[in-house]
Amino acid sequence: MFEEKTPENIREQILAGMSNELDKREGSYTSDLVSPVAYEIWKLYDTMNELIPIAFVDETSGTYIDRRCAEYGITRKEPQKASGYVKMTCAASVNNQQVPVNTCFTTNEENADNRRRYYSTEAVTVKNGTALVNVEAEQTGTPYNVEPGAITQLQTALAGITVQSITNEKAVEGGTDDSESDKDLVERLYKRLRDPGTSGNASHYQQWATEVPGIGDAKIVEEHMHLYRDTGNTGADQFAEVNPIYVQTTDGSGNTVYVERDIPLPQISVYVIGPDKKPVTDDVILKNCWDHIETCRPIGVNVNVLSAATKRIDISVKAELLGLATIEQVRDDFRTALEEYIKKIAFKEKSLRYNHVVNLLLNVNGVKDIGNLQISGVSSAPSTYAAGDAEKKNILFAENEVPVLGNVDVEPYVDPEGESL
C-alpha cells in the first residue's frame, strides 16, 4: 500500500523541502541528520500495512479474525467431547446405591494404555439392579466416538455396588477433532455480512445450524404440510384436503392419523453436512444442532434437522498418456482434484457438471486426451463434448443431496489395434 514510501524517497522529500543554502549532499551533516528520521518515518508506513488485514479480514488475518467475528457474536467452533450413556447391571440386591459423578468407565482394549476413558456427568441412583449413566469422553476428538458395546469396564470398583456387566447400548458420538479453520470461520463471517439472517428467514436457520461444532454447511427447505378437514363421510373419503383444520401424520405404529390443529405450524427441514462436506451421520451432532436451533428459532415453527442424503459419484474413463506420469499417478491426482471439486459444489450447485470433470482430467499432469468417460452410468463417445450434449450428462442433485465420490477408475486408452497409447 505504501511501497513508494522507502527510506530513500522519504529522505529525498525531506531534503527537497529544506533551504538550498544548506549542504544536502550525501555524507553532509544535514543528510546524516535527516536519514535516521526518514528511516523512523518509513517504519511507521511499513507498520500501517498491517492495518489492511485488520480492516479487511481474510484467512491470513490471524487473531484479528476472532476479534472481528466477536463483534458479530460469532465464535470459533472448538473440538468437542463424545457423549452418550452406559448401562450398569448390578446384583439384584443392589438398590438405591449411588453411582457418583465423575465415575470412570473405559473401553476394553487389552493394552490399558490404549483404553479410552469416559466420565459420568451426574450422580445416578441404582434402581432394581440397573442404572443408566450419562457419560462424556475424557478428551475431545473422533477417536472417542465408539460403537455399541465398546465401553465395558469400570476403572475402579464402586463401594457397595457389585457390578455384573457394563455396556453402552448405543454408540457414543459427538466427538470432533479440530478447531474451526481460519478459512471456514472467515466464510461464516462473510456469509453473515453478505446474507444476514432476519426474522427467522432461511439465512437465519443456516446461520444457526453452522454455529454448531461438527456442522459444515446447511440447506434450508420449507416443507408444505398437507391440511385436511372432516367431511362427515366414512372411510377414505372422510377427510378432504382444504382448510387448516386437520393435519395428516402418523402414530407410533406407523398408521396414518389426522390431528386437529387450529393453526398449522410452518415446518422447516434443515439438511446438514459436516466440515468435510459429507452427510452428518453422528446422532449427537444432529441433536446438538436441533437443540441449538430450538433456542434461537421463532415461536410456532416445527424444525427437523436431518443429515443430507448421499449422491454417489462413480467415474470411469480411459486416458491417453504423455509418458510424464504413470496411470496410477494420474488416477490419484484425478481423484484428489475431484474431491476438491465435490467439496466446493456441495449445497452450492444443483449438479455435477460433465464438462468440468472432463476439464479436471485434461489438466492432470501427463494426460494427453481422454475417452469413454462415464459418470455414475452416464456415458458418451469421446467426440461428443459439445455443451448441449454435456448438459444432458450433468448429474443432478435433489435439494437434500450432496455428492460423495465413490469409485474412480482410470485406465490407459487402447487403440483398435490393441496397442496402448
90: amino acid identity, one letter: C
Query: How many angstroms separate the CA atoms of 285 and 275, rounded?
Result: 12
Domain ranges of the chain: 7-49, 81-167, 201-307, 309-412
Q: What is the pLDDT of residue 252?
A: 73
- With a cut of 70, say whether residue 182 has pLDDT above it: yes
- Over residues 370-393, the pLDDT tens digits come to 888 889 854 333 333 334 444 568
Please give the backbone phi and psi of residue 320, each rounded to the nearest 5 degrees, phi first.
-90, 125
Widest CA span of the chain, in angstroms? 113
pTM of the model: 0.71
Query: How many angstroms separate the CA atoms of 29 and 34, rounded?
Result: 9
Q: What is the pLDDT of residue 236?
A: 57
Q: What is the pLDDT of residue 152?
A: 94
Alpha helices in 61-194 (DSSP H): 63-70, 182-194
Q: Which helix (H) or strand (E) holds 37?
A: helix 29-48
What lies within 8 Å, CB to CB, of 380 at 6+ separation is 354, 373, 374, 389, 390, 393
All cell numbers assigned to 334: 484425478
Confidence category of residue 323, pLDDT binned at 50, 70, 90? confident
